A and B are shown apart, each in its own frame.
Chain A
Amino acid sequence: MDTSRRRVLQLLGLSAAALSAPPVLDALAAGPPAAEPKIGTAKEALTAKQWAMVIDTRQFKKEDDVLPLIEACHKIHNVPKIDFKRWEIKWIWSTHFEHAFTGTTSTRFISEEIAHRPFLVLCNHCENPPCVRACPTKATFKRPSDGIVMMDFHRCIGCRFCMAACPFGARSFNYRDPRPFVKETNQLFPTRMKGVVEKCNFCNERLAEGKLPACVEASAGKLKFGDLFDEKSEVRELIKTNFTIRRKVNLGTEPAVYYIV
């Protein structure tokens, strides 16, 4: 057949005209369900511009005071208990003043009482998080809606750049399959797998259901949780009326965990 340029153009034009006829267009555009599914949050979900925590360390005297809080967190999040230090996984733990606040305040010649007080440390959900900048896959990201520094375990490739970037040691790497080390599994929350990093998630799964973080709930008022950017919030009130310190503020990450000393 002698197909001239003109003929091809004619055919193209014709098919375009045919395709744009209403019935054809409708058939092409008709996806499976007619109405669109909707995606949203639960009514009872707690929201904030930047979640923050205030820890009243004056109310923690000895190790026994912090253990129930750590236990509460690690239990509901299926955090494995591995005794071998190098493989240890922790979301929240306690440390001494001199370790928590080196570079923040003077730790020389401090009172005996403060030197022995347990200080709870966890991810600070920094306003300006270096871990997020270091992550090559965006597996670690700062949620714009409420400032939580989240981890998407589906994406984490285990490169550990975030661990090198975090100045607080808030992150742990799964050197082993964590499952055998989780004694009682919480069926409602996933575990992790070998080769991913994990850390505190500010209990975003609980906030979504209108519940406060597990450690806050277990603390009987010693930990407070709220919106840092709402000047009427309880955390802002506490920060205003008490002297608070934060870890390594000189680094400019703007931690969102405040300590009343």
Chain B
Amino acid sequence: MNDKKWIITGLVVFLIIVLFPFWYNRGKAVPPPEIKLTDKAKAAKECVLSKEYMKAEHMQILDLWREVVVREGQRIYTNPKGKSFVMSLSNTCLDCHSNKADFCDKCHNYASVRPYCWDCHIEPPKEKS
């Protein structure tokens, strides 16, 4: 039982290391991202499905679209309100949300998710400003 002091020191060092991030960031909350809508998106009022659904589940619908377009060759999506869309990330989603940096990237960066869509799919050309 002579190792007591080493064990205690070890534990303290361990705790300091583990808790350091919490201590370091205490009281600092990163403000949630504010996304900007393009005029076109504002004018459309509603996305393919409700805003709440799209906010939380857009990846599900993108996954469904990719599956049916590529593998089943079905390209038209008609939402419950009867409005039809061509299922295309670059040509439909980004037609309205042409401000990828202020829309997609804002939340993705905040949540630290890195979708690899853009390795192949083409972003709309940057608006000159």
Given A39-B74, A204-B73; A190-B80 close (CB under 8 Å): no
Complex Cα gap A37–B78 (Å): 6
Contact B78 A40 (CB under 8 A): yes
Closest chain A CB from B115 CB (angstroms): 12
Counting CB contacts under 8 A, is A87 at the interface?
Answer: no
Complex Cα gap A41–B119 (Å): 27
Counting CB contacts under 8 A, is B124 at the interface?
Answer: yes
Contact B120 A37 (CB under 8 A): no
Q: Which residue of chain A is the closest to B121 with respect to CB atoms? A: A190
Q: Which of A191-245 contact B (CB under 8 A)?
A: 191-193, 204, 208
Counting CB contacts under 8 A, is B66 at the interface?
Answer: yes
Closest chain B CB from A177 CB (angstroms): 9
Greatest chain A CB density within 10 A among B49, B80, B81 is at B80
CB < 8 Å neighbour of B122 from A35, A145, A148, A190: A190
Counting CB contacts under 8 A, is B114 at the interface?
Answer: no
Main secondary structure of the interface of A (DSSP, over half): loop
Interface residue count on the B side (C-beta < 8 Å): 28
Complex Cα gap A148–B124 (Å): 29
Q: Which residue of chain B is the closest to A177 with respect to CB atoms? A: B119
Counting CB contacts under 8 A, is B108 at the interface?
Answer: no
Q: Which residue of chain B is the closest to A36 with respect to CB atoms? A: B80
Contact B120 A192 (CB under 8 A): yes
Q: Which residue of chain B is the closest to A40 with respect to CB atoms? A: B76
CB < 8 Å neighbour of B75 from A42, A141, A148, A153: A42
Complex Cα gap A234–B70 (Å): 27
Contact B78 A38 (CB under 8 A): yes
Contact A145 B72 (CB under 8 A): yes
Counting CB contacts under 8 A, is A23 at the interface?
Answer: no
Complex Cα gap A39–B75 (Å): 7
Contact A41 B76 (CB under 8 A): yes
Complex Cα gap A170–B75 (Å): 26
Complex Cα gap A146–B72 (Å): 10
Q: Which residue of chain B is the closest to A187 with respect to CB atoms? A: B122
Greatest chain B CB density within 10 A among A146, A150, A187 is at A187
Binding site for A on B (CB under 8 A): 49-50, 53, 66, 68, 70-81, 86-87, 90-91, 116, 119-122, 124-125
11 contacts between A and B (CB under 8 A): A32-B50, A32-B53, A34-B80, A41-B75, A41-B76, A141-B71, A143-B71, A146-B73, A152-B70, A187-B122, A189-B122
7 closest cross-chain pairs (CB), A and B: A35-B80, A193-B119, A38-B78, A33-B80, A190-B120, A190-B121, A152-B70
Instruction: Add 4 more A-B contacts to A143-B73, A191-B120, A208-B75 (CB < 8 A).
Output: A35-B81, A37-B49, A146-B73, A152-B71
